[in-house]
Amino acid sequence: MSEQLSSPWRHWRHVVKLDPARTICDQALQAIAASGTDAVFLGGTQDITYENTNALLGRLRRLAPNLPLWQEISTVDAVVDGVDGYAIPLVLNTADPHWLIGAHAEAIEKYGSWIDWNKVLVEGYLVLHQAAAVAKLTKANVNLTASQAAAYALAAETLFSIPVLYIEYSGTFGDPALLAEIARTTRRAHLFYGGGIDSYEKAAAMAEHADTIIVGNALYADNWRTVLADTIRAVK
């Protein structure tokens, strides 16, 4: 199997993340389909259910039939069929081991025989914005220096062979210098960056260091058309 087929995420520069618990119109979904983004992730932290995830998936399959659609799993009860792959977050800087390995072991015990591991991508998350819902839920230690964050990233890559590191500043724009230090320190890991990407300039700044830019919250603002076009233009 070619790398393009087995690891499509290595070729992504721009990804849209949509929250099943939030409202988005068909016009926006059609624009996302035509925009040139590389993939869509379905995921969020709060109020994620099987019903709202499956409903959004159905709309995307109808309106954006050619886009790769992946589910980022935050609760095992919301896992849906019909996506192209599953992204599994491990929160590296959590104070609660449930979010590093506990929830994952529970899910594997329950569903392990049904999991197609060829469709699973492990993401090592560094959650770095205190006010983010995911930081509060996972009790993440967000007060990391650039060198500490890079050490977490290198440990995830070398000790645990995690292929993707997701630098998450959900709700705010992060520190380009911290991201640059992670990119300089790590060797093979693919870097995702998400948080506060709502303009050409911000997307370009983080794309200098990250392999893939994630755009989410800004697509629910009134200027979503401009955000979508400008962020794609910045990274491509």
- Annotated binding site for Mg(2+), which residues? 19, 45
* Tokens encoding 161: 């062979």
* Nearest one of 81, 155, 89, 93 to 129, comparing CA atoms: 93
- Residue positions in the annotated binding site for sn-glycerol 1-phosphate? 17, 166-171, 196, 216-217
Q: Compute, in degrees rounded to 10, the torsion defined by CA atoms 224, 230, 231, 234.
A: 180
* Tokens encoding 83: 């996506």
Task: Please count the other Cβ atoms lying within 10 Å of the Cβ belonging to residue 155.
Answer: 13
Strands 120-127 and 212-215 come out as unpaired
- Residue positions in the annotated binding site? 17, 19, 45, 166-171, 196, 216-217
Spatial separation of the C-alpha atoms in residues 191 and 163, rounded to whole Å:
9
Task: Please count the other Cβ atoms lying within 10 Å of the Cβ belonging to residue 184.
Answer: 10
Helix axes 200-207, 224-235, angle to 10 degrees: 30
* Nearest one of 59, 37, 125 to 87, comparing CA atoms: 125
